[in-house]
Amino acid sequence: MKLEVGYIDITDIQFSDKASLQDGVLYVDRDAITAMILEDERIRAVELDIAKPGESVRITPVKDVIEPRVKVEGPGEIFPGVLSKVQTVGSGRTHVLRGAAVVTTGKIVGFQEGIIDMTGLGAEYTPFSKTFNLVANFTPVDGLTAHDYENALRLAGLKMAKALGELGREVEPNEVKTYEHLPVMQGAEKYPELPRVGYVQMLQSQGLMHDTYVYGVDMKQSLTTMISPTEVLDGAIISGNCVSACDKNTTYHHLNNPVIHDLFEAHGKTLNFAAMIITNENVYLADKERSSDWTAKLVEYLDLDGVIISQEGFGNPDTDLIMNCKKIEAVGTRTVIITDEYAGRDGTSQSLADADASADAVVTGGNANQVVVLPKLDKVIGTLDYVDKIAGGFENNLQEDGSIVVELQAITGATNELGFNRLSAR
C-alpha cells in the first residue's frame, strides 16, 4: 500500500465568520462547529476556545487530542468505520493540518484524564503545548452515563477534526511524504539482504473506559491481527480510553505514531519494515495468554528477525508486554520493548509490575511518578475541579498561590510509550 501525506503547516488559528485556510492560518467558524456538535442530543452545551503555544493557558481535564486530516484521493475516508463506511484506508493521498489539533475537555469522564499547559514547566512535558489547539469544553445532559458521555465526546472531537481537515482539501501542502508498505513476499524479494523487522503495537483494551477502536471495532473484541502501517497513519485506529494521561495514546498519537515513522525512515536502508501487528491488552490471564500466543505465532509465521513492541498504560498491561516479549524471543526473534516506568516518586521502586530476563532491550519514556509543580496560569479552559482526582493528583494539591503539585502521570503525553515525548534514560 502506498500513501502520500501532504503536510499543510498551520501557523495560527482564529475564529471567523467564515471557515477557511489561508496562508497557514486556520479560520474557524465557531457557530457552525457549535451547531454541528449540538446535533448530538447527549450534549447540552459546548464552549469553543483557542489555545496557542506560549499563552498562559491550562486545559484540563483533557479527554482526547485529534489532528485534522482529509482524504483527497484513494479509497475510504478519514476515521473509517466511525464517521464513514468501513472501507480500507492507507493508500492514495491524505492532507494533514500539521501544527493544529482538536482538544476535548469538560466534566470528567474517568479519573485518568490530564492536563495540557501551553507555557511554563508543564508545557515542557506535553507535545500539545506546541500545537494550535481548538478546544471544545462540553456539558452533558443530566443523567448521562459515563460511557455515553465518552462516546459523545469522542464522536464530537472526530467530527470537529474532520470539518477542519476538509478546509485543507484544495490547499497545496508545504511538504509531501510517501509511505509505501509492500506485501510480505515483494518486500523480501526487493530487500533480500536487509533484516526483516516488524512492529507489534499493544492497544489499550482493558474493559469499560479502556477502549481503542480499529475501523470502529473495539479492539477487545478482536484477536491479534495484522494491519498495514499506512492504514494507521490514515485514521484506522482511534482512542477511546481513559488510561493515565501521561502514557495514553490519543488519536493524535496514533495518526503520528513515531515508531511507524522511524521504521519507514529506515526502510530499504538499514532494515525491511516487513509487517505490523496489533494486539490487545486484557484483564484476565486466559485472554492475555491467548493474545500473546497469537502475537508470537504471527511473528514466527512472518519469519521476522526483529520486533519492536510498544505498550499503552501500566501495571496490569506490563504482564501483556512481558508475555509478548518472552514468547516472541522464544520463537527466535529479537525484541526491543518501549514502555514507561512507575518507579515511585524517589525512583527507587520496581519500574514494571512484571519482568523477564528476555526483556534485555528496553526503551523507557520516563518515570511517571516524578513530581512537578505547575505554576498558576492566567486562564483555564475546562475546570480545576478534578486536578486532585485525576491520576497523578492527590488531595489538596491545588495550592493557595494557584500552582498545582502533580506527578507527571497527570500531564497528557508526558511519558508516552510510543516515544512521542522528551523523556528517556541513558
Which cell numbers in the block locate residue 1? 500500500
| Cβ count near 227 (within 10 Å) | 20
Residue 109 in grid coordinates: 469522564
- Please state the φ and ψ torsions of residue 389, each to the nearest 5 degrees: -105, -30
Kindly state the cell numbers that stand for 324: 509478548
DSSP 8-state class, residue 210: B
For every residue of 306-352, which 3-state class applies, written as one string? Answer: EEEEECCCCCHHHHHHHHHHHHHHHCCCEEEEEEEECCCCCCCCCCC
Is 325 annotated in the active site? no
What SS3 class is residue 116? strand
Catalytic residue among 57, 242, 343, 352: 242
d(CA 345, CA 359): 24
DSSP string, 149-198: HHHHHHHHHHHHHHHHHHTTTTSPPSEEEEEE---HHHHHHH-TTS-EEE
Catalytic (active-site) positions: 242
